[in-house]
């Protein structure tokens, strides 16, 4: 396991990545206990930063899987961010960091607070954490997609132009910023900046490519890629009957039809350890279905929990089958950049 849970706030698990633990060990080795205390306070602030994102995201109906702490910062792992809510979600984190920084700095001037001694230098804990939070908030506002500032930039651009075009511009700006950060990191021998630069460059290109694929997949419907040739079995058939069908048709999974209705599904994996005399109704599983107008994105999501999905019409009648193999075949076709299909789809 690469991460483990340390807390749960607002129903969101907070997890530490194993590399973060290694970082804390290194911090303690080079900077001692006071350095470790400073880092713990700093990353507690990072958790608040990510919780701010998560709180606003949940208000927009976004599912938050967890907050993961890495050596280069925190990451709120969430489902797809809604286009209309992206600006508020993205700006929430930096606002909380800056306000927290100002609060801690003012509080330090009023009550003082603990003094940390790191490498022979005194650091007022509250003031130092406050300044670092302000820096964290401002740094995240840089228009380096997919960081907060880059998402803010995309949200603002998307209000004036197509969302895909806005993402492309934000991605290009983010990649330019990653080059500048990488150069600065190399010149200053700062491994953290180098890692952040690589993360930004990779994240910017990957998110844009993912959005392009999503836009294309949304235009492909289940009825366009399904296999309309339906070979079914009855609940009263035996496993022996199913094996015969597998030899004849070479399919590894079959719908179970009773009185013209889809009542289950059965596959090769379901029969490997049972008797040939067992009836299909005793081993069949609930079918995973999609409507005819479901998108390829919907189909891929459904295939995450099943080897095949069944395409149903408005009258709840089975019209076709889509297997993982079918989808992989479609993806291979779409990878041919000069293919006429992808040109028509992306119009």
Residues forming beta bridges with residue 3, ordered by sequence position:
17
331-337 LR contacts (CB < 8 Å, sep 24+) = 334/216
Does 17 appear as a known binding residue? Answer: no
Our answer to whether residue 50 is catalytic in this structure is yes
Residue 49 marked in a binding site: yes
Which fold would CATH assign to domain 222-345?
CBS-domain (3.10.580)
Q: Give CA–CA dist 326/334, Å, rounded.
A: 13
Q: What local confidence, expressed as pLDDT, does residue 336 receive? A: 57
Quickly count helices (H) and strands (E) in the chain.
Answer: 12, 11
What's the pLDDT at 228? 93
SS3 state of residue 226? coil
**Residue 339 pLDDT greater than 80, yes or no:** no
pLDDT in tens, 186-236: 998 888 788 888 988 888 888 888 888 888 888 889 999 999 999 999 999
Q: Could you give the CA distance from residue 66 to residue 57 in angstroms, rounded to a whole number?
A: 13
pLDDT score recorded for residue 1 = 52
**Structure confidence at residue 338 as a pLDDT band (50, 70, 90):** very low
Bridge partners (DSSP) of residue 73 are: 70
* Residue 105 neighbours by CB distance under 10 Å: 19
Instruction: Band the pLDDT of 87: cuts 50, 70, 90.
Output: very high
Write down the pLDDT at residue 346: 42
343: pLDDT confidence band, cut at 50, 70 and 90?
very low
Q: What is the pLDDT of residues 323-334, one digit of tens each?
A: 998 888 888 877
Q: Which of 15, 50, 86, 207 is catalytic?
A: 50
pLDDT 10s digits, 151-200 = 999 999 999 998 889 999 999 999 999 999 899 999 988 887 888 889 88
Which residue ranges make up each domain of the chain?
1-141, 143-217, 222-345
CA neighbor of 17 nearest in space, from 46, 58, 53? 46
């Amino acid at each position: 396991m690469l991460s483990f849970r340390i807390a749960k706030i607002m129903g969101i698990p907070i997890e530490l990545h194993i590399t973060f633990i290694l970082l804390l060990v290194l911090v303690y080795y080079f900077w001692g206990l006071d350095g470790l205390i400073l880092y713990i306070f700093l990353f507690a602030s990072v958790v608040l930063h990510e919780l701010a994102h998560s709180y606003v995201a949940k208000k927009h109906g976004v599912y938050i899987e967890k907050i993961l702490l890495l050596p280069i910062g925190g990451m709120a792992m969430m489902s797809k961010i809604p286009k209309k809510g992206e600006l508020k979600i993205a700006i929430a984190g930096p606002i909380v960091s800056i306000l927290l920084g100002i609060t801690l700095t003012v509080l330090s001037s009023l009550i003082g607070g603990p003094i940390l001694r790191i490498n022979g230098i005194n650091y007022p804990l509250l003031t130092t954490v406050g300044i670092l939070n302000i820096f964290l908030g401002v740094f995240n506002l840089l228009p380096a997609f997919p960081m907060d500032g880059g998402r803010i930039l995309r949200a603002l651009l998307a209000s004036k132009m197509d969302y895909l075009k806005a993402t492309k511009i934000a991605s290009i700006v983010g990649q330019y910023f990653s080059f500048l950060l990488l150069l600065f990191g190399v010149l200053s021998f700062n491994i953290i900046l180098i890692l952040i630069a690589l993360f930004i460059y990779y994240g910017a290109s990957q998110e844009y490519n993912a959005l392009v694929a999503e836009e294309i997949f949304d235009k492909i419907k289940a009825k366009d890629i399904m296999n309309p040739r339906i070979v079914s079995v009855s609940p009263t058939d035996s496993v022996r009957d199913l094996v015969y069908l597998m030899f004849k048709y070479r399919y590894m999974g079959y719908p179970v039809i009773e009185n013209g209705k889809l009542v289950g599904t059965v596959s090769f994996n379901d029969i490997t350890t049972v008797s040939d005399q067992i009836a299909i109704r005793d081993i069949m599983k609930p079918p995973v279905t999609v409507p005819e107008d479901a998108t390829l994105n919907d189909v891929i999501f459904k295939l995450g929990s099943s080897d095949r999905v069944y395409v149903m019409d408005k009258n709840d009648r089975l019209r076709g089958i889509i297997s993982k193999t079918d989808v992989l075949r479609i993806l291979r076709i779409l990878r041919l950049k000069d293919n006429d299909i992808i040109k028509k789809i992306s119009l």
